[in-house]
Amino acid sequence: MTGLVKENCPDRILAWCVLLLCVSGPGVTRAAPVPRLFEPTDLEFEDPGGVELDMQFGPVRGENSYRIAMPDAEFDLGLTSNIEFDIDGQFAIGGPDSGNFQFNQVAPDNLWPSLKLGLLDFKEETADLAWAVGTQIGPKLPLAQGAQGVGFEGLLLFGCRYEQTYIILNMGGLRDPRLSGSSGPSGFEMGVDLDHPIDAPGHWAVTGEIGAVQYVSSDRNQLTTTAGLAWRPSENLEMSVVGLYGWLAGGDQFGVLFGISPKFKLW
């Protein structure tokens, strides 16, 4: 993926990973599962042994209530120059379904451990232009309230870099773990991830996403857009603020999210 990824280095095979759980505090009940917000991913690969923690959080109006949400919580570990181990999750505190500001319910989402693979890339010699193809696949683990069994999610990623602007098309689908008494949400996903620097050093960038889910289950379809500003004071830190708006009845309706993405080396 040398033509497109923002970070690259020689292949080295190393792997061991590990992780994490969600905990609810006293006096707080577990809410019914919240339909996962589909956040399109990129084609950036961490160096072998490199870790990025990508987190967004903020107030969001969901389908039925206001929530304090972490709709994007990612752990990315580079294994080789074109293989990365990722863990994606979501978490929210909110409720009740009447829409009042009474944050008395926790709603963790199912966990998605996956491998992101760079399949091919090529670069135009006569222009600062590159193309790449990758995939991200893995099981869905039942952390949501009432979830049982194991699901699956997979994406095909098509990327284009023109100068320092990145556009990544996501196409795929998901089948979440089944819920008590019914099957889990399942459907097709499509999205676009955009990153465009607005200064020469690249410390500031405009970011945007479009994410859509067409469910084949009884869940309501989603079409969500985000737009915002990212600040990168160093190669190892990014901070951002974005606005979120949902165009369909399914998924989150609107919100403001604050992001922080530190990077560090494990080996």
Q: Which two tokens stand for residue 20?
A: 């994490």
- Write out residues in the chain with pLDDT < 50, as ranges: 1-3, 7-28
Residue 132 included in any domain: yes
Tell which residue, 145, 124, 147, 121, has the closest CA to residue 134. 121
Query: For residue 56, what are the domain limits?
Result: 35-265
Is 10 within a domain?
A: no
C-alpha span between 177 and 102 (Å, rounded): 28
Which amino acid belongs to residue 1? M
- Could you tell me if residue 153 is inside a domain? yes
Distances 23 to 35, 104, 105, 152 between C-alpha atoms, Å: 19, 14, 12, 24
Q: Provide the pLDDT for residue 9.
A: 38
Which element (helix H / strand E) includes 237? strand 237-246
For the stretch 96-128, pLDDT in tens is 666 565 666 788 899 999 999 999 999 887 788
Cβ pair 207, 227 in contact under 8 A:
yes
Asked whether residue 107 is domain-assigned, the answer is yes
Written as six digits, the tokens of 65 are 């209530």
Please enumerate, as own/partner, the contacts of 215-218 that have beta carbons within 8 Å and a separation of 24 or more.
Answer: 215/185, 215/186, 215/187, 215/250, 216/186, 216/187, 216/188, 217/183, 217/184, 217/185, 217/186, 217/187
Total number of domains in the chain:
1
**Close Cβ partners of 187 (under 8 Å, ≥ 6 residues apart):** 173, 174, 213, 214, 215, 216, 217, 219, 221
- Tell me the CA distances in angstroms from 159 to 40, 42, 85, 134, 230, one per residue in order: 12, 8, 19, 8, 20
pLDDT at position 28: 46
For residue 239, what are the β-bridge partners?
231, 260
Residue 60 contacts residue 254 (beta carbons within 8 Å): yes
- The CATH number for 124's domain is 2.40.160.40
Report residue 240 as tokens: 């951002």
Residue 102 has what pLDDT? 62
Q: Is residue 216 part of a domain?
A: yes
What pLDDT shows up at residue 98? 60
Q: What global pTM score does this model have?
A: 0.85
